[in-house]
Amino acid sequence: MRGIRARVRPPPSRVVLISGLLERAVMREVSRLGVEWLDEARALAEAGLRERPAVCAGGVDRSGWIVQQILKWEARRHVRGEFYLVVDADTVFLRPTRLVEGGRGVLFERPGAYAPYLATYARLLGRPAANDRSFINHFMVFHRPTLDALVEAIGARAGGTWVEAVLAALDPAEGSSFSEFETYGHFATEQFPERVALRPSDNRGARPWLRSIRLQLALARLLGAGSLSFHTYLADRTLRGEIERLWARARR
């Protein structure tokens, strides 16, 4: 939260945490940081979902994976301005990062998109992506009118809501077959290029073999990273334990 306020340019007018119900101590910390809280159940209801959708791939429950992506797009209903930033909760900004330039949203790209994401993009919009660049950056600034146009296009083609269309387009044999970042990035750059500024991604993932958070941050800065993501699927028990200890200390 501190990194978002200190390093995002232009600075956000509000910071909102979207999640399920939190422990009382966690809510106190959220309030102390001046962060608003939005119940994910409310956001899902606004998307037409009374409960979490049952999403399984290869016998593995992937409902949480798809729900967090739905929430990022549905957050647009609670935005007062033209742009809003979504940040994965495991991502830390390390240096000033400009996200709007000359009225255009800055999108960060890297080569080599994950093929199943592009296959779902084609199913949703009826045309293949123009290239295989990737917009997976673990944070993204959305231009609300562009996102409105995207969800409208998806829903219109499917003859229903955009959420229903995405759920129907998922590949049951593929654990990760939809990306909100990939879908928005390709749609925005192809349909509204004048609204977008492209920059190379400088996000890095934490090293699973390095068991100190402080050393992780120092190494990432040394390597020129603008942000660092502590993906739980990469972290071993020692690193997860340190994260939990630091959080416990912050709560006291």
CATH fold for domain 2-201? Spore Coat Polysaccharide Biosynthesis Protein SpsA; Chain A (3.90.550)
Tokens describing residue 35: 């962060």
pTM, 2 dp: 0.90
Tokens describing residue 220: 């990432």
Q: What pLDDT, on a 0 to 100 scale, did the predictor assign at position 58? A: 78
pLDDT tens for the chain, 252 residues: list them: 889 999 999 999 999 999 999 999 999 999 999 999 999 999 999 999 988 898 988 788 999 999 999 999 999 999 989 999 999 999 999 999 999 999 999 999 999 999 999 999 999 999 999 999 999 999 999 999 999 999 999 999 999 999 999 999 999 989 899 999 999 999 999 999 999 999 999 999 998 878 788 899 999 999 999 999 987 655 555 555 665 665 566 555
Q: Which residues pair with 104 in a beta bridge?
A: 101
Neighbour count for residue 135 (Cβ, 10 Å): 23
Q: What pLDDT, on a 0 to 100 scale, did the predictor assign at position 198? A: 98
Q: What pLDDT, on a 0 to 100 scale, did the predictor assign at position 159? A: 97
Q: What pLDDT, on a 0 to 100 scale, did the predictor assign at position 101? A: 97
* DSSP codes, the chain: -HHHHHHEESPPS--EEEES---HHHHHHHHHTT-EEEEHHHHHHHTT-SS----EETTEE-HHHHHHHHHHHHGGGG--SSEEEEE-TTEEE-S-EE-EETTEEEEEEBS---HHHHHHHHHHHSS--SS--B---SEEEEEHHHHHHHHHHHHHHHTS-HHHHHHHH--TT-S----HHHHHHHHHHHH-GGGEEEEE--EEEPPTT---HHHHHHHHHHTT-SEEE--TTT--HHHHHHHHHHHHHHH-
Q: What pLDDT, on a 0 to 100 scale, did the predictor assign at position 252? A: 57
For 140-203, the three-class secondary structure string (H helix, E strand, C coil) is EEEEHHHHHHHHHHHHHHHCCCHHHHHHHHCCCCCCCCCCHHHHHHHHHHHHCHHHEEEEECCE
Domain residue spans of the chain: 2-201, 203-252
Q: Which residues pair with 204 in a beta bridge?
A: 228
Q: Is 58 left (phi over 0), alpha (psi -120 to 50) or beta?
A: left
> How many Cα neighbours within 13 Å face the side chain of 143?
24
Q: What pLDDT, on a 0 to 100 scale, did the predictor assign at position 51? A: 87
d(CA 14, CA 37): 11
**CA distances in angstroms from 132 to 8, 30, 119, 135, 184, listed in the order given:** 28, 38, 11, 10, 14
